[in-house]
Amino acid sequence: MAKILVVDDEAGIRELLSEILRDEGHDVQLAEHAAAARAARSAARPDLVLLDIWMPDTDGITLLKEWSAAGQLNMPVVMMSGHGTIDTAVEATRIGAQDFLEKPIALQKLLAAVKRALQKSVSTVRRSELNLAAFARSGPLRDLKKRLDQVSAKSRALMLKTGPGSLAELCARSLQAPGKAWLDLAHHGQPLALDALEQAAGGMLFAAELAALSRLQQKNLAFALDRLEKFDLRLVVASAQSAAELAASGFDEALARRLAEASLGAPGLTELKDEVPEIAAQILTHLVEAGEVPLRRLSTAALNALRNQAWAGGYAELRNAVRSLALGVLEEEIAAEEVFRLLAPQPSAVAQALPLDLPLREAREAFERVYFEHHLQLENGNMTRLAEKTGLERTHLYRKLKALGISTGKKGDEP
């Protein structure tokens, strides 16, 4: 017996399919629109979904994309439509649907499609990374995806101008073709060869921050940029600096100009503070569905606590925080206290080492003692390098160390 979710806005069709499938011994749940389907899918985790395409709130193709983008397409889905076209069927299959049924649905065709779909193991269902299509209910993220799609329709290469809290990876994942390769150029430390581009054909090349690329990685980027069309590749790069600023800092000037030919300003988490709870919740759902963390949920207070964080490290920092919370908590619900415990600012090493209730003069001497002992150890007692590091003339340096009661440990190295 399988758990089957039937999603259709027509009550008569829902009841008919339910009766047929229950007669076959299946456990059937019904949903009349996308909102009900989302709730039922999350609560029941069905073995199969029969999904109508034409629905009043959100159409079936959009819902299928949403599930795929959120990593929730780990069950077979059979699409249904009374107005189906070949193009619609092809698109549904490309996204991850297992089959397509035209209405009115003949009994034998229905049972055969259900049988085929249920024979598909979970391991054969395509799994994708989280991307912007998962946020269909967020206006700012939905608009961001529309702008990305619009620019990428005319250009294989895209430069994102990002600020604090970059969402560059999430943007790039949104343009990655389902099931195709992902090549992070910042993690590629060897010269890029043609066979690497051949293996990545149809996929996505990515660099989260151009300013962080080495000379070799810049050459790899230029090499790939010249061959995007040949290997059906897309390229998304990001930087907090303009092309002129990149060139001034030593980045290949001609390459920076080429990349800036198709650019888009992309908001970060700093600007999208109100969207952080939704992003965090989707990250957690994706991790749970992928089996990377136990079943967990974020409380409303925890979501608010995440919203109020700065997230200077952007999407990657938020994702790592959510993963850490899910792995570390003992209860199914993640409370706000867990967020504060993980993300509360820690006292600096110096602050922990120094008594801060001293008078200013004594506190300054204590800091100087910690400071010079630290650098003396780093320089292995070499007074010449210590003088250069601290910016003090050697005679003054010896006097300072003596006054602080610090031994250099080298009697022969005197002024």
Q: Give residue 234's pLDDT band: very low, low, confident or very high (50, 70, 90).
A: very high
CA distance readout (Å), 153 to 92, 158, 181, 201, 269: 20, 11, 19, 18, 25
**pLDDT class for 84, splitting at 50, 70, 90?**
low
350-403 CATH pick, 3.40.50.2000, 1.10.10.60, 3.30.590.20, 2.40.30.10: 1.10.10.60
Q: Calculate mean pLDDT across residues 241-255.
A: 93
Cβ neighbours of 350 (radius 10 Å): 13
Reply yes or no on whether the pLDDT at 10 is more than 90: yes
Do the domains at 3-124 and 273-343 have one common CATH topology? Answer: no
| Least-confidence region, from 144-148, 302-306, 348-352 | 348-352
CA angle in degrees (0–180, nearest 5) for 149-155-158 = 75
| Predicted confidence band of residue 355 (pLDDT cuts 50, 70, 90) | low
pLDDT at 297: 95
Options 2.30.130.10, 3.30.1330.120, 3.40.50.1980, 3.40.50.300; CATH for 132-265 is 3.40.50.300
In this prediction, residue 373 has a pLDDT band, given cuts at 50, 70 and 90, of confident
For the chain, what are the domain ranges? 3-124, 132-265, 273-343, 350-403
- Portion of the chain with pLDDT greater than 90, in percent: 63
Query: Could you report the per-residue pLDDT of 92-114, keeping only the tens digit for each?
Result: 888 889 999 999 999 999 999 99
For the domain 3-124, what is the CATH code? 3.40.50.2300
Overall average pLDDT of the 377-383 stretch: 78
pLDDT digits (tens, 9 = 90+) for 333-348: 999 999 999 987 655 5
Measured CA to CA, the distance from residue 370 to residue 126 in angstroms comes to 56
Has domain 273-343 been given CATH number 3.90.1150.10? Answer: no
Q: Quick one: what percent of the chain has pLDDT higher than 70?
A: 93
pLDDT band for position 411 (50/70/90)?
very low
Q: According to the model, what pLDDT value does residue 412 have?
A: 42
Distance CA 240, CA 218 (A): 17
Paired residues of 4 in beta bridges: 28, 48
Is pLDDT larger for residue 381 or for residue 170? 170
